[in-house]
Structure 1
Amino acid sequence: MPHRLHLETFGPVHALPILHYRLEFAQLVRQAVEHVKPDCIALELPPTLEAPFLRGVRRLPEISVLHYETAARAGRGETVYLLVEPADPLAEAARLALERAIPLRCVDVDTDSYPRHDEALPDPYAVQRLGLAPYYAEYRQAAAVPPGPEDRRRERGMAFRLQQLAKEYGRILFLCGMYHLERVKAEYGLPQAAPLERLRRSGVTLCNLHPDSCREVLGEFPFLSAVYELRRGPLPAEPADDSAGLRKRFSAFELVAGGKREVPEAEVLRRAIERSARHVGREGEFPDRQRCILRLFQEAARHYRQETGEPVHLWQKRAFFRFARNYALVNGMLLPDLFQLLAAARGCLDDNFAYAFWRLATCYPWQQVAADLPTITISPEELWGGARRIRFRPREKRHKGLSPLGFLKRKREKRPGEWLEGFDDPAVCSYPPEDVVIEEYGRFLKQKGALQLSEELSRTEPFTASLLDGIDLRETLRNLADGRIYVREQQRAKGGVGGVVVIFDDDRNNVKFPYRMTWLGEHDQESDMAFYATPPPDNVVGPGICRCEYGGFLLCYPPRRMMDVWHDPDYAFARSKAEVLLLAALDYSVEKHVVYVAARPPRSAFRLLAARLGKQIVYLPLGSLSPPKLKQLRVFHILHGHGKREIAADYIW
């Protein structure tokens, strides 16, 4: 790792070139203070703003915004905003000066007519890898915006004040924007006069930033600022991993105790930030932006799984970071910003994950509406002159014609333990509307498997005497140079599809889906079913009604033939529950083909076993099916007694 710090020295002045509101430069300020051990710290701020700015610094980690009106030009004035946030190098320098009792001076010139510069700056993360010296050298070569009269006026004023400070202090640490530093250094070597400037500015107001605005207007998005703030001092204790999340579920024991003690959302997000702060680098090191983004993704994936029950798969993680990287490179950056990360989250996973990602990325635990200052709400357009907008819609199950607040009418326990009184019937049964859905999907998988078999048996050949089943346009275009037409012959697979096995999770450790059951079809249009799932007592949603999630299931038609496959000694050699279901499908299927849907194909030994039984396994990758449909299928309900079917609709949402 190269030495990242670089200081421009002239006289007793040690100047640190910075970019405002960037995490990497706030870290360099701390290194510069340790290296220089200054007698005085000079900031690129006008003295007229020093008092309110320092008050905002003393409020940190609560974020403040300083604002005032400029003098009217062309008939109207302009509102100027200055954020005081942890990841800003000027705020970090002022905090260090206050903590270590180092004299602090503001040396800039107060002006009303300073223009806005829009520069295409290189990614500040390059400083983390290359160091500040080559970064600053490249910046000086690429800087193309010529200085205006106000720039020259400010630079001469800063040079004059540094000359005055040099008479009083031996070592001065000067924080200056890269755009101005080279010319300030040149002006320092020349005689300078006191600048003609405003000595006092009225109407300067310091306000508390509203938490909602905090999510949108900070220079660094709130998660980064919060991690940086936590790593400034002693790291907090590792939060207990009690799997506390935002998902609403009740177990039988919790119902007896009066319901689950839900952890507030703010507390869950705070724990995630504290956990991240401990894992983005060794103690004493400052956070690396790339590691922070990785931890943000991991914590968002944890919340996503707690809320939806769906894990973030490795291929989704790979697609997310590849998309975000390419999006950043297209815009000339090394690492993506928050907008690009949200676009990747929505595109590579879904809107629910994008919402979980946004909620954590924009969480800043210390910001509150109630504060010792007036609270102000500002928009990105007011502060930065523009904004990029992204929309995502977390999916919530609604029924047409009902109020979107219909979930408020859902029945709840009137007293602790009321729902446990519904578990008086030892028999269990399914919920018929869910049976219809899963049977229809089973028929769909059978058709898809038969179509795949037909595709495998089809053949293409050059046209000679017969068109067979039609012209194969794809093959004809692929061999256009030959000047021949290709035709395709479709061959129907012999034998139908008898069994369907769908594996969502292998659960080889038997931890997540320990509940196993074999159900017989109740009528001629319903298949026999074997499955493994989450334990019913873990999620009681009504009297004698439990919500479960499949780890995997088997559908086999015709019904009323299947024995208890989980205790069949013929399947004792199976290594996992998924293999038990596949063996049962091969054993009970009256048709030649069995459809097997999983993340990975079965072992080759099963294909040999199927061939000996005169069967064939048709493998469909789980990723080739619709994720929203699979999410819908995974959830089902177990009712304790047929009588619960009459009231189940009141509790199943």
Structure 2
Amino acid sequence: TSETLFFLLGEFPFITHLYEHRRAELLPDETLAIDGIKSLLLEARSVWLKKHDLQQHWLTPQTFSLLLKYVRNLTLLDRRLTPDLYTLALAAKQIAGDEFALTLLETARQYPPQRIPSHLTDLRIGIDHAEFPTGDAPWKNRLLGTELTWRTLPLKPAPPQEKKQSWQMQWDPYQQCSHPPEDDKIESFNTHVREQAKLLLGEDLARTEKFTSSLKDGLDIRETLRNWHTGDLYVKEIPPSRGTIEIVVLLFDSPSDPNKYPWHTTWYAEHDQESTLCFFATNFADNIIGPGISQAVYGGCMLIFPPRPIPDIWTDPRLEFAKTPEEHLVSAALLHSQEKRILVVSPHPPLTRWRRIAKKFKRQIVHLPIKRFSLQTLDRLRHFHVLNGRDVRSYASKYIRDFR
């Protein structure tokens, strides 16, 4: 069978097929033992992107370079010339997470000729025994090669569809709460972008003067180069920014597809270190991953810190004019902000319509490009879990897989 073909072939089934294809096409295969590993990683990445419907990703050539260096080091520690499947899966797990490691394992055992229909009975083969229609029997591979041994690699696979349906039937629609480690991540990111916004506001108010006795807030390189012919140095002084940023709007996918993000809701803070959170996201009910545990993906969210109760923005009649979920979040931030400015982190500058809405509410929009932050960080923030009650938090970590 395709699940046990690895124990019969001398190479990974995926790489064995590459050898057979090159020989059939009379192509050179001297370096395929190494190039096949690269082809395997690229194919696994394509499957992973399609599975998670990602338009942008962080499995870049730089990430693969780091992964391959790690694979090389592990292979040398095992005194091997080429990596085995365990080494590849271990490196993929630690560099890219459980999801990609599982996809890599599934891709490595793919062997297209196995898809050809056959009237012969399927056999299941292990390291030292095989399952025949008449029963199990011991067997031994007499071809010379590296000895196969069992090694354990803890991974959290996706649950089977039958269990998902059972868990979905048991879901209580009147209970929802967040996963605390993910709360800490988004609050930490919220604090970080607020600090970035303060620096941005301070730079707009910076004053430049000729250097006399103090460097103050550092050299002003631009003004110094502009006056290079005079030989004078110029320094800048950044005054304390007036006011703070109370509300942050994070737009991960803009413009967004309303059909992709049908879930609109408001979550209120459980304690004073959490923000009031309003967001639109994918439907959590479509991705149940454990008993009382589901996964969703943010399209965008609004955070109010310090937290305070506000009316649900998605049913507030004062915001009926908003045409898109992104505009709804921005308008709600402008309506509820107690400060003069709100911060919008998005892939593009604020639309002219948003600026007009800000003028209507006598507020200002401070924009921070989302490309300042790594795709890996953004993916970790966007993927979050919904728990069916606080009691689920005691065992949720057993089912939740980190999306690195």
- The answer to whether the aligner puts 1:441 opposite 2:186 as a matched pair is no
Retained in 1: the 8 A contact 2:293–2:387?
A: yes
2:25 corresponding residue in structure 1: 86
Q: Within 5 Å, give how 1:304-315 maps onto structure 2.
A: 304-307=48-51, 310-312=54-56
- 1:474 matches 2:221: yes
Aligned to 1:131: none
Contact 1:507–1:551 (CA under 8 A) maintained in structure 2? no
User: Counterparts of 1:451 and 1:568 in 2: how far apart (Å)?
Assistant: 34
1:614 maps to 2:383: no
- Partners in 1 of 2:357 and 2:35 — Cα distance? 62
Where does the alignment leave 5 or more consecutive residues of structure 2 unmatched?
1-16, 62-94, 116-124, 126-141, 146-150
1:582 is aligned, of 306, 330, 345, to 330
State the one-letter code of the partner of 1:543: P
Cα distance in 1 for partners of 2:257, 2:159 equals 36
Which residue pairs with 2:298 in the alignment? 550
What SS is found at the alignment partner of 1:444? Answer: helix
Instruction: Kindly indicate whether the alpha-carbon contact (under 8 Å) linking 2:177 and 2:390 is maintained by their aligned counterparts in 1.
Output: yes
Q: In structure 2, what is the Cα distance between the partners aligned to 1:310 and 1:64?
A: 32
> In structure 1, how many angstroms separate the alpha carbons of the residues matched to 2:329 and 2:25?
56
* Residue of structure 2 in register with 1:279 after alignment: none
* TM superposition shift of 1:363: 8.3
Kept in 1: contact 2:48–2:100 (CA 8 A): no
| Counterparts of 1:555 and 1:217, CA distance in 2 | 47
Q: TM-score, normalised by structure 1?
A: 0.42
What secondary structure, in the 3-state scheme, does the structure 1 residue paired with 2:279 have? strand
Q: Structure 1: state its 5+ residue gaps.
A: 1-60, 66-82, 90-208, 224-268, 270-295, 321-349, 378-402
- AA matched with 1:431: H
Q: Indicate the SS of the match to 2:342.
A: strand
**Aligned counterparts, 1:116-265, within 5 A:** 214=32, 216=34
In structure 1, the residue matched to 2:65 is: none
Mapping of residues 308-347 of structure 1, within 5 Å:
310-312=54-56
Which residue is equivalent to 1:206? none
Cross-structure match for 2:371: 623
Amino acid at match of 2:365: I
User: What is the aligned partner in structure 1 of residue 232 from structure 2?
Assistant: 484
Shift of 1:217: 6.6
Percent of aligned pairs with the same amino acid: 33
Structure 1 residues 482 and 300: alpha-carbon distance in aligned structure 2, compared to 1, 3 A threshold: farther
* CA distance in structure 2 between the partners assigned to 1:435 and 1:583 by the alignment: 24
Residues 62 and 528 of structure 1, relative CA distance in 2, 3 Å threshold:
closer
Mapped contact 1:539–1:547 kept (Cα < 8 A): yes
Change (3 A) 1:568 1:430: same
Match of 2:277 in 1: 529
Secondary structure in structure 1 of the residue aligned to 2:358 = helix
**CA 1:604–1:467: 2 relative to 1, 3 Å:** farther
Alignment of 1:216-615 (within 5 A): 216=34, 303-307=47-51, 310-312=54-56, 365-366=112-113, 405-407=153-155, 417-420=165-168, 422-424=170-172, 426-463=174-211, 467=214, 469-472=216-219, 474-475=221-222, 476-477=224-225, 479-506=227-254, 508-615=256-363
CA–CA distance in structure 2, aligned partners of residues 413 and 637 of structure 1 = 18
How far apart are residue 499 of structure 1 and its match? 0.5
- For 1:404 and 1:482, locate their aligned partners in 2 and report how far apart those are by CA, in whole Å: 69
CA contact (8 A) 2:164 2:290 kept: no
Question: How much has 1:617 moved relative to structure 2?
Answer: 1.3
Match of 2:175, SS state, is: coil
Deviation for aligned residue 1:422: 3.7
What count of residue pairs does the alignment treat as equivalent? 321
Following the alignment from structure 1 to structure 2, what is the Cα–Cα distance between the partners of residues 409 and 222?
24
CA–CA distance in 2 between the matches of 1:408 and 1:561? 37
Gap change, CA 1:623 and 1:361, over 3 Å in 2? farther
Deviations for 1:255-297, whole angstroms, at most 9, x for unmatched residues? xxxxxxxxxxxxxx9xxxxxxxxxxxxxxxxxxxxxxxxxx99
Q: Deviations over 1:145-184 (max 9, x none)?
A: xxxxxxxxxxxxxxxxxxxxxxxxxxxxxxxxxxxxxxxx
What is the root-mean-square deviation of aligned Cα atoms in Å? 4.6
**1:551 deviation in Å?**
1.0
Q: The residue matched to 2:318 in structure 1 has which SS?
A: helix
Q: Does the CA contact (< 8 Å) of 2:349 and 2:367 recur in 1?
A: yes
| Counterpart residue type for residue 86 of structure 1 | E
Q: C-alpha displacement at 1:520, in angstroms?
A: 1.1
Which amino acid is the alignment partner of residue 23 of structure 2? V
Q: Residues of 1 paired with 2:286 and 2:389: CA distance?
A: 18
Any conservation in 2 of the 1:527–1:557 contact (CA below 8 Å)?
A: yes
Contact 2:45 2:100 survives alignment (8 Å): no
Distance in 1 (CA, whole Å) between partners of 2:357 and 2:219 is 36
Q: CA contact under 8 A between 1:500 and 1:556: conserved in structure 2?
A: yes
Q: TM-score, normalised by structure 2?
A: 0.65
1:439 & 1:456 partners in 2: Cα distance? 26
The whole-number CA distance in structure 2 between the counterparts of 1:600 and 1:570 is 26
Question: Are 2:383 and 1:639 equivalent residues in the alignment?
Answer: no
SS in 2 for 1:406: coil
The 2-side partners of 1:488 and 1:570 are apart by 44
| 1:84 aligned partner, one-letter code | R
3-state SS of paired residue (1:565): coil
Question: Cα distance, 1:545 vs. partner?
Answer: 1.3
Cα distance change of structure 1 residues 647 and 470 upon mapping to structure 2, 3 Å threshold: closer
Give 1:467 deviation, angstroms. 4.1
Is 1:595–1:617's contact at 8 Å kept on the other side of the alignment? yes
In our comparison, the structure showing a higher alpha carbon Rg is 1
Offset of residue 621 of structure 1: 0.8
- Taking structure 1 as reference, are residues 216 and 613 closer, same or farther at Cα in structure 2, changes over 3 Å only? same
Given that 1:460 and 1:472 are in contact with CA atoms closer than 8 Å, whether structure 2 keeps it comes out as no
